Amino acid sequence: MKELAPGLWQLKGALPLPNAINTYLMGDVLVDAGARFDANKILKQLEGRDLAAHALTHAHPDHQGASKLVCETRGVPFWVPVNDVHKAENPELIRTEQPESLVNKMFFKAMAGPGHVVDRALNEGDEVAGFKVLDVPGHSKGHVAYWRESDRVLVLGDVLNNMDVFTGIPGLRQPKKMLTPDPSLNLTSIKKLGVLEPSLVCFGHGAPLRDTAKFTAFCEAA
């Protein structure tokens, strides 16, 4: 587990490629839970640490895969963006929102975990471990990001990727259209985050980015 900023750590995933599927510990809240096969790796890294809750950026198979096991093993509540609650509780509904493609079918089969009862629905403006919840839909209907204004740290899930999720090649990219129900709405969310001018950006896929100018310029040009 690597500390990225005060009270923010990045966990290692089960896949051999670094930063392929990222999860974070914000204070005492686990944000996202990777794919189903990440469960043991996540739980091992959380041993000896206080955990108050588990929250999602969005309910996709590579973010909710280990959620049920983490919540049940550690006995913590499950916090999910309000418009993704139904999918977190019944992951089969994820497939009704996603574009029809063989890739989505394969990802779901390989990564999705069982559903789990949601204890708290997250809304814009809510506070989670010192971070503010921001609504940033598009890649998922209920997608949120977490923003800490005091040091300008942003955890944005999959609104943007910092690597190609198919090839692993690093660099800022919009999420794949075949994985994104509403690319146009996601573009609006990209613009919303760009004006924040974050000093540190943490992605669902790809390495953290500390180049504010690069991030804001990409968002402006998107």
Average pLDDT over residues 84-108: 92
Both ends of the chain: CA-CA distance in Å?
32
Query: Is pLDDT of 90 > 90?
Result: yes
What number of other Cβ atoms are within 10 A of residue 92's Cβ? 10
pLDDT tens for 154-197 read 999 999 999 999 999 999 999 999 999 999 999 999 999 999 99
pLDDT band at 101 (very low <50, low <70, confident <90, very high): confident
Q: Is residue 102's pLDDT more than 90?
A: no
The DSSP H or E segment spanning 86 is helix 85-89
Give the side-chain half-sphere CA count within 13 A for 122: 31
Of 208, 212, 171, residue with least CA distance to 193: 212
Percent of the chain past pLDDT 70, that is, above it, reads: 100
User: Which pLDDT value is given to residue 163?
Assistant: 98
Q: Is the dihedral of CA 67, 70, 71, 72 positive or negative?
A: positive
pLDDT of residue 99: 86
Computed on alpha carbons and rounded to an integer, the radius of gyration of the chain in Å comes to: 16
For residue 33, which of 66, 81, 78 has the smallest C-alpha distance?
Answer: 66
When pLDDT is averaged across residues 85-93 and rounded to a whole number, the result is 97
Question: Is residue 110's pLDDT more than 90?
Answer: yes
* Full-model pTM: 0.97
Report residue 216's pLDDT band, with 50, 70 and 90 as the boundaries. Answer: very high
For the chain, which domains are there?
2-221 (3.60.15.10)
